[in-house]
Amino acid sequence: MKSIPTELLDIIEIVRKQEEWRAKSTLNLIASENVLSPIARSLIDSDFNHRYAEGDIGHREYQGAQFIDELETIVVRLSKELFESAHVEHRAISGALSNMATYYALSKPGNHIFALEVPSGAHISFREFGTAGARGLEVHDIPFDHEKMNIDLDKFIPMIEKVEPAIITLGGSLFLFPHPVRQIKKACSTLETKIHYDGAHVLGLIAGKEFQDPLKEGADVVTGSTHKTFPGPQGALMLMNEKKVYKKVSRAIFPGLVSNHHLGRMAPLAITLLEMLEFGKVYAKQTVSNAKTLGKVVDDLGLQVLARNQGYTESHQIVIDIQECGGGKRTAVALEQAGIIANKNLIPCDDVNCVDDPSGLRLGVQEITRMGMKETEMEQVGELLASIMLKREKKEQVREKVKKLVSLFNDPQFCFKLDGEG
């Protein structure tokens, strides 16, 4: 009988250590992460992970797909209900790929598009070095008001009329305030321009009716990750109201960009959609309230929070200028050593080449909200941040305070329980 390889045991131990460390010893403020509910997580491990279902519901290239057809029918129906969307494409396996599908469906190589610059909030997929560039698109910068942390419409609208772009991409990864979708749609009324709204970060807030409704405001395609403020499995949804647009996008996904669309995530996604229909409004409202509270707390403590005059945020994020605290890289590392997980981030004052050591720190409260933290805990979180960034308290001491705080919040909220309690 062959002995068990040592490396096999090492792999199992790495997974165990990850579970132990992140769940019990860290305060997660990464703005692009969340946790599944216990029921949703229990369904990750299923036979669906082993299977293929190329094609559309009811029209598969493979046999043996009757149960995935049933499951995906539920996913599509619940998505349409939650987002009040006429059409849903559920097969994109990531937010970046859903953006690529949008560009693939609605533009041709050489077309012009508008998108924010990365320091102003764009995801890399919007840009010439990302999926927009892979499609061969010429990217123009959307003017950005650094004080208001939003699009500068006075400068932007004349540019739209001059360039006549195929696509305007709104939304982003650094995303504090709703974008002016209605005004931009109106500016395109005589053009064939399509409005693409990247709601990857704010999809859960959109679902909870707490941010903005980009579809109703005029977006032709809304793309969104299902694992950020939307607390489901990793993947994406694409929302559309116009059938012609939907058909183009759907063909861009399959057979264009996706073969098998990772069936193991479908059951957890369906559960999360049900949870958001039931609890999404309360969860989204608490998330935004927590973010606003944290912004004020750290501002009062002496950190330089962006958009102070705008109320800090209307989303799950706050952004701190940490040039005086030693810069993004140093600060993020110091926080991690104290058990606080956050990410360095470009902010509008940065050059795009500063990505390795930017001037900003982006914080998201969606996961700690999911775990049950409220405004009172945001005061504690703010104090913990200031302990490292301003007071230079010993990291070991802060780490113990972090463990004590997170030990009180180890059960996801805003979800169904097996005993029937919400």
Domains assigned to the chain:
42-272 (3.40.640.10)
Q: Is the dihedral of CA 197, 200, 202, 203 positive or negative?
A: positive
Q: Which of 319, 285, 313, 347 is nearest to 177 (CA)?
A: 313
User: How far is it, in rounded angstroms, from Cα 247 to Cα 238?
Assistant: 12
Q: What is the pLDDT of residue 285?
A: 98
At residue 347, does pLDDT exceed 80? yes
Distances (CA, A) of 91 to 182, 238, 265: 28, 9, 10
Q: What is the pLDDT of residue 420?
A: 52
Q: Which two three-digit tokens encode residue 48? A: 């669906």
At residue 422, does pLDDT exceed 70? no
Q: CA 216, 225, 48: angle at the middle one, nearest 5?
A: 120
User: Under 8 Å CB-to-CB from 18, ≥6 apart: which residues?
Assistant: none
Least confident of 93-107, 198-212, 265-279, 323-337: 323-337
At residue 354, does pLDDT exceed 90? no
User: How far is it, in rounded angstroms, from Cα 227 to Cα 75?
Assistant: 15
Q: What is the pLDDT of residue 80?
A: 98
At residue 27, does pLDDT exceed 60? yes
Average pLDDT over residues 70-98: 97
- Please report, rounded to a whole number, the percentage of residues in the chain having pLDDT higher than 90: 89
Q: What is the pLDDT of residue 93?
A: 96
* Exposure string for 85-99, b = 16+ CB within 10 A, e = fewer: bebbbbbbbbbbbbb
Q: What is the pLDDT of residue 325?
A: 79
Across all residues in the chain, what is the average pLDDT? 95
Q: What is the CA radius of gyration of the chain?
A: 22
The residue with tokens 């759907």 is 250
Q: What is the pLDDT of residue 1?
A: 67
Q: What is the pLDDT of residue 326?
A: 75
Average pLDDT over residues 69-89: 98
Average pLDDT over residues 211-233: 98
Q: What is the pLDDT of residue 359?
A: 87
CB 113 within 8 A of CB 221: no
At residue 58, does pLDDT exceed 80? yes
